[in-house]
A and B are shown apart, each in its own frame.
Chain A
Amino acid sequence: MRRWRRRWGALRHHRWQGVLAAAAMAAAVALPVVLLSVGGGVADHEIRALQTSGYQITVSAAGQHGIEGTHALGARLLSIANVAQVSPVLSLAIDAFPSGGTPTPVLAEGVVPGPFGETLGPDESGLFPHPLPFSDPTDLVHYDNGSYAGTPDLQVMVAGPLASAVGLTVGSTLPLGATTDPNRSVPFTISGTFGVPRSAIGPAAAFAIVLPLSELQQLVGLGRDPVTGALVDASDTIDIALAGAAATDPTAVDQAASAITAIAPYYSVDALTQQAAQLGQTAAVLTGFYLALSSVGLSVGLVFLALVLVRQVETDRRLIGIRRALGVPARQIAVGWLRTSLVLTGSGVVAGIAGGWAIVSYLARYGQGSVATAAQLAVFDPLTLGLLALGILGLGAVASLAATRRALRLPIWEVLR
């Protein structure tokens, strides 16, 4: 130990140059580590959510001209081969009146309770009670045979954050309305609560409610046209789950999607496998962008490293001259500078990865909102980080070339004068 301390003492003039070069490399490496781990983690999470979703195909037509005749269309879709569940959803912003007359905007999701519960993915299913606490799992009591003649249950589930924020409990009443006028609201009974899924790129839906589809349609005037009285029975999305092995067979998924398109050619039909593939391609493009962005910092770090190495050649010109005078081959001198560069680059890479990990951990713990969520989803993939480290070490080797060239061009007789 004493011996190494003495050796280290003799390197006093190099110490801070080396520390600064390694620090510059660490700062340059930390950026891609953060970008790749967080970006990759979020993309992986979203792709996995698509791949493990409880449904494989979506039919969608959002807005005023959304899907019409939802219940009848659902029955037709169920007749397609391999289709096991059809879950229509109507998503709208409406007003709730939790404390008498004050309206609170909420995201309302009208669903058919049974199929909705069956088409939840693994991440979501843990957030909802099973089965959903609605007295009509088929949504066919209020809506039946193209009419709304039945008696509505007027039950609603509220998201946990909404219940906490406005003091709602199971069993209490929550008036809901299509307008901010409390006099036109309808009192619903809270039959349960549900959690909010973690998502970094989708809406958090913290203030959300879930209620039977036909009751939401009637509440907002999308059951029947309020003027003509014609049946509308609107939704904006229909999630379709396939049965058994067909759910994971891309060919079966594509065949089912084609059959659905044939029945409803005017709606958008998407297979989640395609969405996952598109998201994967987008993630790959983003990874390239992250690397391009990081290359700016890495270039600065490597230029700094090269300058430090050239500076060290100038500082060590006499020692280099001695070695060359003694006959040390050029190859060994080049290897020496390569080793120095790799040690500094390697130190920077290790420190940069540790620094990137520390930044992401800090954001995951103390960050706010989607920043914290994204940081929590970060993935430190050993293969990605290993390739990144190898690439940077390769560039570090290139950075040593300037120093090596300078060292081998020093006139020996002059530096030993």
Chain B
Amino acid sequence: MIDPVPSVLVRDVTKRYAAGGAEEVRALSGVDLDLPPASFVSVEGPSGCGKTTLLNLLGLLDEPSAGTISWDGHAMAGLGERERSRLRLRNIGFIFQRFYLVPTMTASENVELPMRAAGVGATVRRARARELLGEVGLGPKADRFPHELSGGEEQRVAIARALANGPGLLLADEPTGELDTANTEAILDLLVGIQAREGRTLVLVTHNPKVAQRARRHLTMQDGRIVRDSDAPEA
């Protein structure tokens, strides 16, 4: 049985991609990571160091080439796409740099999307979407379409959508990468507040040290490896 806020263990994970012909790109090499429940972790590092690959593996969007990932002791390897999809729907909330809202849906409908997929009734999910949009300060704009919102507002909608099914694990990939300073601060305040208030695990990928500072634990990656973990004992 997986806890709503799972303990995640990553052991000796390697991820290789084909790079045309017989060549391979090694995106991750022997990564070990423990994420106890309610962790707030930032992952820093230069472009191409493997941050997003690690996030994709944690979020079950991709599978490791070697090594294991387990949630509460349950190995994720070998799960079928149906089961992985169910875990993503119930246990993981994604926040992307480019927001990735569905342009043909209003803000409210975007937030309802994961709930609809989970089979939540229309009345309940509508009320919950309004509630979540209210929490991120977008109550009055619930019926706006994405192209009618600013970048900061779109990211707030994306955060509300990530919270829709009450996931224990929030994975944010450069969530402030496309925002100005004021909006960056506001979004970070929102995420930090949610994490602290609701005790979810939050993994925040960023290349911005100022953003990373807001986390309690800091990972630094380079060339597909975690080269620094603020929680690890000093060598």
**Chain A contacts to B: CB under 8 angstroms:** 3, 6-7, 10-11, 318-319, 322-330, 332, 408, 411-413, 416-417
- B113 adjacent to chain A (CB < 8 Å): yes
Chain A residue numbers with a CB within 8 Å of B90 are 327
B61 with A326: CB separation less than 8 A: no
B189 on interface, CB distance cutoff 8 Å: no
Chain B, residues 146-177, CB within 8 Å of chain A (1/0): the string is: 01100000000000010001000000000000
Instruction: Classify the secondary structure of A's interface with B.
Output: helix
Contacts of A10 in B (CB 8 A): 103-104, 145, 147
B82 neighbours in A (Cβ, 8 Å):
329-330
Q: How far is the CA of A211 from the CA of B100 in the complex (A)?
A: 88
- What is the bound-complex CA distance between A332 and B148, given in angstroms? 28
Bound CA–CA A417/B86 (angstroms): 22
Q: What's the nearest-Cβ distance from chain B to residue A113, in Å?
A: 77
Find out whether the CB atom of B88 lies under 8 angstroms from the CB atom of A327: yes
Among A7, A11, A408, A411, the one with the most B-chain Cβ atoms within 10 Å of its Cβ is A7
Would you call A327 and B92 a contact (CB within 8 A)?
Answer: yes
- Closest chain B CB from A343 CB (angstroms): 14
Known: A10-B104, A413-B61. A326 touches B161 (CB 8 A): yes
Shortest B134–chain A CB gap in Å is 21
- Shortest Cβ distance from B167 into chain A, in angstroms? 9
Report, nearest first, the 8 A-B pairs whose CB atoms are least far apart. A327-B89, A327-B88, A328-B117, A413-B56, A413-B62, A10-B104, A322-B100, A10-B103
Contact bitstring B83-104, A, C-beta under 8 A = 1, else 0: 0011111101010100010111
A33 to chain B, nearest CB (A): 33
Assuming the contacts A319-B102, A413-B56, A413-B61, asked whether A326 and B88 have C-beta atoms less than 8 A apart, the reply is yes
How far, in angstroms, from A24 to B96 measured CA to CA in the complex?
A: 39
The smallest beta-carbon distance between A7 and chain B, in angstroms, is 5
The residue of chain A having its C-beta at the shortest distance from the C-beta of B92 within the complex is A327
Inside 8 A of B145's CB, which chain A residues have their CB?
Answer: 6-7, 10
Within 8 A of A (CB), among B89-126: 89-90, 92, 94, 96, 100, 102-104, 106, 113-114, 117-118
Contacting pair B81 A327 (CB below 8 A) = no
**A3 CB, nearest partner CB in chain B, Å:** 7
Q: Which residue of A lies closest to B93 (CB)?
A: A326
Residue B143 interfacial (CB < 8 Å) = yes
B104, A11: Cβ atoms closer than 8 Å:
yes
For residue B81, give the distance in angstroms from its CB to the closest CB of chain A.
7
Cα of A327 to Cα of B87 in the assembled complex, Å: 7
Cβ contact within 8 Å between A324 and B102: no
- When A and B form their complex, what is the total count of cross-chain residue pairs whose Cβ atoms lie within 8 Å? 70
Tell me which of A3, A318, A326, A408 has the highest count of chain B C-beta atoms within 10 A of its own C-beta: A326
Chain A, residue nearest B161 (CB): A326
The answer to whether A3 touches B100 (Cβ under 8 A) is: no
User: Which of B87, B94, B104 is most buried by chain A, counting CB atoms within 10 A of its CB?
Assistant: B104
When distances are taken between beta carbons in the complex, the residues of chain A under 8 Å from B45 are none
Residues of B near A412 (CB, < 8 A) are 56, 61-62
Given contacts A3-B143, A10-B145, are A324 and B100 in contact (CB under 8 A)? Answer: no
Judge whether B86 and A327 touch: CB under 8 Å: yes
Q: How far is it, in angstroms, between the C-alpha of A318 and the C-alpha of B106 when the chains are bound?
A: 18
Query: In whole angstroms, how far apart are the Cα atoms of A85 and B96 in the complex?
Result: 91
- Asked whether B113 lies within 8 Å of A328 as measured between CB atoms, the reply is yes
B117 touching A326 by the CB < 8 A rule? Answer: yes
Q: Quick one: which of B59, B81, B104, B147 contacts A325, CB cutoff 8 A?
A: B59
With both beta carbons as reference points, the residue of chain B lying nearest to A7 in the complex is identified as B104
Nearest Cβ on chain A to B8's Cβ, whole angstroms: 17
Find the B residue at minimum CB distance from A332.
Answer: B117
Question: With A3-B143, A326-B114 known to touch, is A416 a contact of B92 (CB < 8 Å)?
Answer: no
Residues of A within 8 A of B62 (CB): 411-413
Return the contact of A327 from the options B53, B106, B114, B147 (Cβ within 8 A).
B114
Kindly list chain B residues whose C-beta atoms are within 8 Å of the C-beta of A318.
Answer: 100
A115 to B56, CA, bound (A): 93
Distance in angstroms from B148 CB to nearest chain A CB is 8
**Residues of chain A lying within 8 A (CB to CB) of residue B85:** 324, 327-330
A323 to B118 alpha-carbon distance, docked (Å): 12
Given contacts A328-B89, A412-B56, 11 further A-B contacts (CB under 8 A): A7-B145, A10-B145, A319-B102, A323-B113, A324-B85, A325-B61, A325-B94, A327-B89, A327-B90, A330-B81, A411-B62
The one of A325, A408, A411, A417 that contacts B88, using a Cβ cutoff of 8 Å: A325
In the complex, the answer to whether A326 meets B96 with C-beta atoms within 8 Å is no
Min C-beta distance of B71 to chain A, whole Å: 15
> If A7-B104, A10-B103, A11-B104 touch, does A326 touch B113 (CB 8 Å cutoff)?
yes
Select from chain B the residue with minimum beta-carbon distance to A11.
B104
- Cα of A313 to Cα of B174 in the assembled complex, Å: 27
- Least CB distance, B86 to chain A, in whole angstroms: 7
Specify which chain B residues have a CB less than 8 angstroms from the CB of A6 in the assembled complex: 145, 148
Q: Min CB distance, B163 to chain A, in Å?
A: 12
- Which residues of chain A are within 8 angstroms of B118 by Cβ–Cβ distance? 327
